[in-house]
């Protein structure tokens, strides 16, 4: 919904000042300034500073005029429209708002405009009692279109099978599995994604937003600001984050609990990355985490497979495989033993597995799995394959056949919905997945790479009623499900199975592209919120 102006006047010192103030106010009304050009008292909230520094006061009071340079980059006023969605067995009437929230630093200077798309069911009697869910993707550098148009939003774009190609029609259709039946939805695009943008210049501003803590603080503040201006502070609140959203999610809930004064009922993490420390570099756990997914891809070629079918591989990965890995390549017998077992589980040639000592990183597996046919598997969904553009090269020269084809249809669908159906027309380009943001990101250095398990422990300990749902795709090599399973198993006893639940669906990173997986995920989310 559009912001409502509050005009406050400072106490005049004499009658002349009163007259001057009234004349100025009259002139302002005649000119007809837009509501979004003046921020109401308390509307200017500081963006938190990098890790280790305090964010400043709770808010900046009074109006602060934006600079001319900032106004050149301002997003248009919020657009609110009434929508009706005809679905099997029901019709949903709802209000859609496409707009933005401006963030300020602790000096009251504008920093960034964060774009969002909100859908609220038209039921005034239940508005405050209805849950409201905030959703964002990851990257970093990804807009929320993946979750909005692939899974939970009112309209959906098919992103599987023949529809998952660049030239596919971007025509959105009513989404029978929308979550709008049981929760209002707010999709957030962090700065640098979607239409969200900086309004301040300078490297220091970008460094602050493009960091783990600065990003978390900006999204948490956006959530609080939306709740305030939409009169939804009393509603049950839920957070959904996908992929790098696994780093964001627990940290944002912690920030909301302790910095913003906003409680959260539940956290849903979709294909999350929870800890960069154990899935990169020299850590041998990266091979443990990914082995069940690689084996599942091999079994999928012979018939449908579920997470329950992978119990034997999980036992081997936790047990003998890990033991032989720890022995190292200096132990020739252990190395040959695990290499032969990995070859048997994945279907990769035994000679290749022995040459690599049974230690396949994701890129090597993706190429070797079907190299004889000149094909490579997807990273987001390894059950999808495409042609290797350089099959004879000794180096890897391929991208992701399960991810890149989605860029064109999702981008076109997002722009068409925003500008035509929602009647919000920002200038500039829509950024679905920004490589520039990812390249500029500060993930942490030295002994402190990005992880969110610490915050997950803290938020569960702080609020005994908070529930967490972690969902994965079985064939996802970007964030393998077994990594999350191992990490969640390390949580203290207070994180019971009733409070922290892991579910693995057939599919990849965007497992919700499969109809059955999307329907099952919707049922899990509804059960959590009810």
Check residue 82 and give its pLDDT.
97
Where does the pLDDT of residue 159 fall: very low under 50, low under 70, confident under 90, or very high at 90 and above?
A: confident
Please give the pLDDT value at position 152. Answer: 97
Per-residue pLDDT reduced to its tens digit, 370-416: 888 989 888 999 998 888 787 777 666 667 666 777 888 899 999 99
* Sequence-separated (6 or more) residues with CB below 8 Å from residue 429: none
Least confident of 31-35, 74-78, 287-291, 481-485: 31-35
Q: Where are the domains of the chain?
A: 42-59+78-277+408-529, 280-404
- Interval 458-506: pLDDT, tens: 999 999 999 999 999 999 999 999 999 999 999 999 999 999 999 999 9
pLDDT digits (tens, 9 = 90+) for 308-341: 999 999 999 999 999 999 999 999 999 999 999 9
Does residue 83 contact residue 66 with C-beta atoms inside 8 Å? no
Structural contact between residues 324 and 334, judged by C-beta atoms closer than 8 angstroms:
yes
Q: Quick one: three-class SS letters along 162-186?
A: HHCCCCCCCCCEECCCCHHHCCEEE
Q: Mind listing the pLDDT tens digit for each residue in 233-276?
A: 999 999 999 999 999 999 999 999 999 999 999 999 999 999 98
Cα 86 to the chain's mean position, in Å?
A: 28
DSSP β-bridge partners for residue 377:
385
User: Which has more pLDDT, 188 or 407?
Assistant: 188
The whole-angstrom distance between residue 222's C-alpha and the CA centroid of its chain comes to 14
The share of the chain scoring above pLDDT 70, in percent, equals 82
379 burial via Cβ count (<10 Å: 0-12, 13-18, 19+) = buried
Task: Pick left, alpha or beta for residue 132 (phi over 0 → left; psi -120 to 50 → alpha; otherwise beta).
Answer: beta
**Domain 42-59+78-277+408-529 class?**
alpha beta
More confident residue, 503 or 106: 503
Q: Residue 448's pLDDT is what?
A: 73
pLDDT, mean of residues 220-230: 97
Q: Does position 127 have pLDDT exceeding 50, yes or no?
A: yes
Confidence at 61, pLDDT banded by 50, 70, 90: very low
């Amino acid at each position: 919904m559009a912001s409502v102006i509050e005009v406050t006047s400072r106490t005049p010192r004499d009658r002349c000042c009163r007259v001057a103030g009234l004349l100025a106010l009259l002139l302002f009304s005649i000119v007809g300034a837009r509501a979004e050009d003046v921020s109401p008292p308390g509307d200017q909230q500081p963006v938190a500073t990098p890790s280790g520094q305090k964010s400043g006061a709770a808010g900046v009071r009074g109006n602060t005029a934006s600079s001319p340079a900032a106004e050149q980059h301002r997003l248009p006023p919020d657009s609110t429209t009434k929508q009706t969605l005809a679905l099997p067995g029901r019709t949903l009437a709802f209000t859609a708002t496409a707009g933005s929230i401006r963030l300020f630093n602790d000096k009251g200077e504008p920093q960034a405009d964060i774009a969002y798309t909100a859908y609220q069911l038209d039921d005034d009697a239940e508005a405050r009692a209805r849950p409201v869910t905030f959703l964002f993707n990851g990257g970093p550098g990804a807009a929320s279109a993946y979750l909005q148009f692939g899974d939970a939003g009112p309209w959906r774009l098919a992103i599987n099978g023949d529809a998952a190609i660049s030239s596919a029609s971007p025509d959105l259709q009513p989404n029978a599995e929308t979550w709008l039946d049981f929760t209002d939805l707010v999709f957030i695009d962090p700065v640098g994604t979607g239409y969200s943008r900086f309004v301040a210049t300078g490297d220091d501003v970008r460094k602050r937003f493009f960091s783990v803590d600065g990003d978390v603080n900006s999204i948490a503040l956006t959530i609080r600001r939306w709740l305030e201006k939409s009169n939804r502070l009393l509603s049950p609140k839920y957070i959904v984050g996908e992929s790098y959203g696994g780093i964001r999610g627990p940290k944002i809930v912690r920030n909301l609990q302790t910095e913003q004064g906003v409680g959260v009922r539940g956290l849903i993490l979709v294909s999350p990355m929870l800890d960069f420390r154990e899935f990169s570099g020299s850590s041998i756990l990266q091979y443990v985490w990914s082995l069940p997914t690689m084996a599942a891809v091999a079994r999928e070629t012979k018939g449908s497979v579920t997470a329950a079918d992978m119990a034997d591989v999980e036992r081997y990965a936790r047990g003998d495989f890990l033991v032989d890995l720890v022995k190292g390549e200096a132990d020739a017998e252990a190395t040959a033993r695990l290499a032969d077992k990995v070859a048997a589980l994945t279907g990769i040639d035994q000679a290749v597995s022995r040459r690599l000592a049974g230690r396949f990183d994701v890129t090597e597996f993706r190429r070797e799995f079907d190299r004889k046919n000149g094909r490579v598997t997807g990273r987001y969904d390894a059950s999808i394959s495409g042609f290797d553009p350089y099959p004879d090269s000794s180096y890897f020269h391929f991208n992701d056949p399960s991810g890149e084809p989605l860029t064109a249809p999702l981008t076109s669908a997002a722009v068409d919905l925003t500008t035509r159906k929602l009647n919000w027309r920002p200038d500039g380009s829509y950024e679905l997945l920004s490589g520039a943001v990812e390249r500029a990101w500060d993930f942490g250095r030295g002994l402190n790479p990005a992880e969110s398990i610490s915050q997950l422990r803290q938020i569960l300990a702080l609020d005994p009623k908070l529930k967490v749902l972690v969902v994965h795709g079985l064939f996802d090599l970007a964030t393998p499900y077994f990594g999350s399973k191992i990490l969640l198993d390390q949580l203290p006893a207070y994180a019971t199975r009733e409070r922290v639940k892991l579910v693995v669906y057939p599919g990849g990173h965007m497992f919700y592209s499969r109809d059955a997986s999307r329907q099952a995920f919707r049922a899990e989310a509804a059960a959590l919120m009810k």
